[in-house]
Chains A and B, each alone.
Chain A
Amino acid sequence: MRGKGLHLLIGVLVAAVLAATATAAVKKTHAGGTLVFAGAADPTLLDPALVSDGESFRATEQMFETLVKLKPGTLKLVPDLATKWTPSNGGKTWTFTLRQGVKFTDGTAFNAKAVCANFNRWYNWTGPFQDAGATYYYQAAFGGFKNNGSSTLSPPLYKSCAAKGNSTAVVNLNHATGTFINWLVLQAFAMQSPTAMNKYGADQGSISNGAFKATGSYGFSHPTGTGPYKFVSWTIGQKLELAKNPSYWGPKAKLDRLIIRPISANTARLQALQTGDVNAYDLAAPQDVPTITGNSNLKVVKRPAFNVAYVTINSAHAPFNNKLVRQAVAYGLDRQSVVKNFYYGTGKVADQFLPPGLFGWTNKVTKYTYDPEKAKALLKQAGLSLPVPVEFWYPTGVSRPYMPDPQRNFQAFAASLENSGFKVTVKSAPWRPDYVSKVNAGTAGDLNLIGWTGDFGDPDNFVGTFFKTFSPQFGWKNNQIQTLLQKAADETNLKKRTAMYQKASILLSKSVPAVPYVNATPALGAQKKVADLVATPTGGVWFGNTSVGGQ
């Protein structure tokens, strides 16, 4: 019996080893023309007008196109479904000349009527669709609706749309704004097939326990756009499968199939890449970059910077109401060292609030290279005795694209400030629920670490958000700059806008309401055999020309 029991045990173990070994023979390569890409989560819904998260947009931008877009990998506005756009009537009327011969993947024509149907769909939303969770970006760009269901909603920016023939759509606004055209690059304003939306209930939704829920099948199984890929299937929690759109108006996609799968843990995504379970993945942790670059089969694809991390200075607190003291802070922060040591090559030192490549960025801003002696001299010039006490806050329990490890950034900055004539009092708070609300309310000390990732390619989304109006976060007032930023937002002439934002950036660098320190370039991991994978600054990935293994 003893012998047999042992045999049974050995048998079980041998069987387990054999079973495992047998799988070694399974080939790990993927079929020709298919790319498997890992994101961090499932899309929320495949109706881009009703989502606001990056995972959804990354998926929808393969199927849907916008009137204008950012050239893949850049912040340059270029034609997409509209070949030309002209503002008139002081910026209140926009005439779009549409691309000819474009069809939605359901076979219906893309034309001016379809454009107006999309604009009118957004404008006419009622009930649950006026929920901020459902139509966040519509409300951010266009304010309210035709019939606002709540007094908290703003008046609508959109007025009407007229189709002039098949190829011209005229959009009328209630007031001029320079940001309008730049908002339109967002997937939330992508063109969708009116026929498919009607057929599959795109405008059916309800509020359940306060959360908006789409109840039609359109956004789950019938998304219909004009893009290089079309929808095949979506198994929530497992994969979204897309196929090449054979009737795409532009250069056809090189991939036959594109599969996007959700893998929430950073390490799991990296390991899936290492083993070939995926061909590429998004949101690589900065600390994983050396592992990827150290593997001869893998490579890092960098997403152009579209964010900024900065140190807030609360000018409402003395002595930081003195510009000399704020400049001393700027000289006292060793930004070069932080970026070099904690971003693993995925960040560049920022001297201004606009990311490089966005119009309005200028190299004429005042630059503050780490200089402790200059910082001390400025503090003395301000009439202060050293060390100057400063309460400095950082968040815990969080990692942001522009700030992967806040504590390390903080420790380095605190040390460099102590070298520069400041006496730092350390304060921290959990990101949730306290930190962001304290920062926004201006109660997170004299200095604090925070940052911003842009939504769309417009400087107003950066400097306008921060400084156009008074914010308790900065406690800073400067009529000249604030007026300039408001004028820049209203202006529709790109050249004039660019000049205004450049001027604002220069003035901000002198006034120092905060100290920008890094534009992070988030990394993607990919197999080397994956070619032409383009990470867009706004968080997407362009697979239009991507191939695997030289296909």
Chain B
Amino acid sequence: MLRFVVRRLFALIPILFGVSLLVFFWVHNLPGGPTDALLGERSTPALVKQYKEQFGLNQPLPIQYVKYVRSLLEGDLGTSIATRRSVTTEIRTRFPATIELALMAMIFATAVGIPLGFVAAKRHGGVSDHATLFLSLLGVSIPVFFLAIILKYVFAVRLGWLPTVGREDILATRQHPTNFYFLDAIIERDPTAWWDSFKHLLLPAIALGSIPLAIITRITRASVLDVQNEDYVRTARAKGLPPREVDRRHVLRNALLPITTVLGLQVGLLLSGAVLTETVFAYPGMGSWLADGIGNRDYPVLEGGIMFLAIVFVLVNLIVDISYAVINPRIRYS
């Protein structure tokens, strides 16, 4: 197992090198640049030249790339051109917010998706099965930002049940030592704070979790359908095990394996979906920060932020691979 983990960690090097190359050249090929964004109507040729020299943008791209990689290796993600704050500081502040949102979305997707897929499989061919399939198709098809806008309009603007923006009540004066508001609320034993954070997370998490929900539902359904026809399931039934025990011990446990793979892959989807969801709900995470970074053509923010998310994505996938062994002891890594 240890050898496997070490090997996978070494395999990260070429992957991250490739990602850095892609991110760098994508960002530098966006129309416009930070000087245009900063100066607007005031962009005189002299000022543009001065800014380009200052940001090193007048140098050939390969040289800029080498400097970028050197900074990365030194652990320096740079300074935002628009906000003039350190990219590392911004990530430290905003990443916990995105993690909370992604976790909540994932909990929503799995808590609803697995039972829904299970019920659909159990009633294979019935009305609830068809309804589930239709809803999951809808879930995959509706763009996240559109669903976010609709949810917000109905539940926050029209009905006024939930807040429209932010991460907690704006009038709250709580301290957030970890920046994970749920965790802080638990540490402080403050149920009001926990409830406040929950309310602010609910709609963005449902919007963000809609696509993973649909995928998990479909995978669960297909997986349960497969597993319940396996010999060992028939044997379990034949030996007189109660149906509930068969489902719990033999069907669900084995059906969970492909779902775990899917969960790992959803992390990428959640992080990309967060860009739109966080913008709609003015949620102060990595997503809304990157969206502003694109608007400002803020190269250090985009390069540093995306690189960081890429590392997270790759590491999460590694954790998912390792978790196979926990779920299915027959799997051994060498």
- Bound-state CA distance A210–B90 (Å) is 18
Contacts of A515 in B (CB 8 A): none
- Bound-state CA distance A409–B260 (Å) is 54
Contacts of A452 in B (CB 8 A): 41
- Expressed in whole angstroms, the minimum distance between the Cβ of A231 and any Cβ of chain B is 15
- Bound-state CA distance A12–B111 (Å) is 9
Q: Are A238 and B162 in contact (CB under 8 A)?
A: no
Q: Are B279 and A264 in contact (CB under 8 A)?
A: yes
- Expressed in whole angstroms, the minimum distance between the Cβ of A15 and any Cβ of chain B is 10
Q: Are B47 and A275 in contact (CB under 8 A)?
A: no
Given A237-B94, A259-B171, does the pair A1, B112 have CB atoms closer than 8 Å? no
Interface size on A, residues (CB 8 A): 66
Given A21-B161, A133-B51, does the pair A275, B38 have CB atoms closer than 8 Å? no
- Expressed in whole angstroms, the minimum distance between the Cβ of A126 and any Cβ of chain B is 16
- Bound-state CA distance A400–B42 (Å) is 13
A131 at the interface (CB under 8 A from B): yes
Contacts of B152 in A (CB 8 A): 271
Contacts of B84 in A (CB 8 A): 44-45, 133, 211-214
Given A9-B115, A12-B112, does the pair A259, B83 have CB atoms closer than 8 Å? no
Q: Are B31 and A211 in contact (CB under 8 A)?
A: no
Contacts of A275 in B (CB 8 A): 156-157, 160, 163-164
Given A211-B80, A271-B152, does the pair A131, B165 have CB atoms closer than 8 Å? no
Q: Are B163 and A451 in contact (CB under 8 A)?
A: no
Q: Are A238 and B166 in contact (CB under 8 A)?
A: yes
- Bound-state CA distance A41–B157 (Å) is 22
A49 at the interface (CB under 8 A from B): no
Of the listed residues B41, B81, B128, B153, the one surrounded by the most CB atoms of chain A closer than 10 A to its CB is B41
CB closest residue in chain A, given B160: A275
Q: Are B157 and A433 in contact (CB under 8 A)?
A: no
- Which of A9, A28, A209 contacts B71, CB < 8 Å? A209
Contacts of A274 in B (CB 8 A): 157, 164
Given A8-B115, A42-B83, does the pair A263, B162 have CB atoms closer than 8 Å? no
Q: Are B171 and A31 in contact (CB under 8 A)?
A: yes
B93 at the interface (CB under 8 A from A): yes
Q: Are B47 and A132 in contact (CB under 8 A)?
A: yes
Q: B245-297: which have CB < 8 Å to A?
A: 247, 279-282, 284, 288-289, 291-292, 297
Contacts of B288 in A (CB 8 A): 237, 264
- Bound-state CA distance A213–B123 (Å) is 61
CB closest residue in chain B, given A20: B161
Contacts of A400 in B (CB 8 A): 40
Q: Are A133 and B54 in contact (CB under 8 A)?
A: yes
Q: Are B292 and A264 in contact (CB under 8 A)?
A: yes
Contacts of A271 in B (CB 8 A): 152-153, 156-157, 164-165
Q: Are A433 and B31 in contact (CB under 8 A)?
A: yes
- Bound-state CA distance A12–B114 (Å) is 12
Contacts of A268 in B (CB 8 A): 164-165, 279-282
CB closest residue in chain A, given B196: A26
Q: B37-79: which have CB < 8 Å to A?
A: 37-38, 40-41, 43-48, 50-51, 54-57, 71, 76, 78-79
Contacts of B237 in A (CB 8 A): none
Contacts of A152 in B (CB 8 A): 46, 50
Indicate with 1 or 0, residue by residue over B118-161, a CB within 8 angstroms of chain A CB atoms.
11001100001000000000000000000001001101110111
Q: Are A277 and B122 in contact (CB under 8 A)?
A: no
- Bound-state CA distance A133–B123 (Å) is 65
- Which of B32, B50, B161 contacts A433, CB < 8 Å? B32
Q: Are B45 and A436 in contact (CB under 8 A)?
A: no
CB closest residue in chain B, given A21: B161
CB closest residue in chain B, given A236: B93
Q: Are A209 and B282 in contact (CB under 8 A)?
A: no
A34 at the interface (CB under 8 A from B): yes
B116 at the interface (CB under 8 A from A): yes
Contacts of B50 in A (CB 8 A): 132, 152
Tell me the interface secondary structure of chain B in the complex: helix
- Bound-state CA distance A1–B118 (Å) is 11
Contacts of A528 in B (CB 8 A): none
B7 at the interface (CB under 8 A from A): no
- Bound-state CA distance A312–B165 (Å) is 41
Given A208-B78, A433-B36, A440-B44, does the pair A132, B54 have CB atoms closer than 8 Å? yes
A430 at the interface (CB under 8 A from B): yes
CB closest residue in chain B, given A275: B164
Q: Are B115 and A5 in contact (CB under 8 A)?
A: yes
Q: Are A1 and B244 in contact (CB under 8 A)?
A: yes
CB closest residue in chain B, given A276: B160
Indicate with 1 or 0, residue by residue over A437-481, a CB within 8 angstroms of chain B CB atoms.
100110000000011110000000000000000000000000000
Given A20-B162, A21-B161, does the pair A259, B56 have CB atoms closer than 8 Å? no
CB closest residue in chain A, given B179: A235
Of the listed residues A30, A238, A261, A437, the one surrounded by the most CB atoms of chain B closer than 10 A to its CB is A238
B13 at the interface (CB under 8 A from A): no
- Bound-state CA distance A451–B82 (Å) is 23
- Bound-state CA distance A452–B37 (Å) is 15
A265 at the interface (CB under 8 A from B): yes
A350 at the interface (CB under 8 A from B): no
Contacts of B170 in A (CB 8 A): 36, 238-239, 259, 261, 277-278
- Expressed in whole angstroms, the minimum distance between the Cβ of A136 and any Cβ of chain B is 9
Indicate with 1 or 0, residue by residue over A1-15, a CB within 8 angstroms of chain B CB atoms.
110111011001000
Q: Are B31 and A263 in contact (CB under 8 A)?
A: no
Of the listed residues A277, A452, A453, the one surrounded by the most CB atoms of chain B closer than 10 A to its CB is A277
A318 at the interface (CB under 8 A from B): no
B233 at the interface (CB under 8 A from A): no
Q: Are B160 and A277 in contact (CB under 8 A)?
A: no
- Bound-state CA distance A259–B44 (Å) is 36
Contacts of B297 in A (CB 8 A): 432
Of the listed residues B46, B55, B90, B243, the one surrounded by the most CB atoms of chain A closer than 10 A to its CB is B55
CB closest residue in chain A, given B304: A209
Q: A253-269: which have CB < 8 Å to B?
A: 259, 261-265, 267-268
- Which of B41, B161, B282, B289 contacts A23, CB < 8 Å? B161
B300 at the interface (CB under 8 A from A): yes
Can you pick out 26 interface pairs between chain A and chain B where the beta carbons lie within 8 Å of each other?
A: A1-B247, A2-B122, A2-B123, A12-B115, A20-B161, A24-B159, A42-B83, A207-B54, A209-B56, A211-B78, A211-B79, A237-B97, A238-B167, A261-B170, A268-B164, A271-B153, A271-B156, A271-B164, A274-B164, A277-B165, A277-B166, A277-B170, A432-B31, A433-B33, A433-B36, A437-B48
In the complex, besides A267-B149, A278-B170, 11 extra interface pairs with C-beta distance below 8 angstroms are A1-B244, A2-B122, A12-B115, A30-B171, A132-B54, A210-B55, A211-B81, A237-B284, A239-B170, A271-B152, A274-B164
Considering the complex of A and B, which 7 residue pairs feature the smallest CB-CB distances, nearest first?
A432-B32, A237-B284, A210-B55, A208-B79, A433-B32, A209-B78, A263-B282
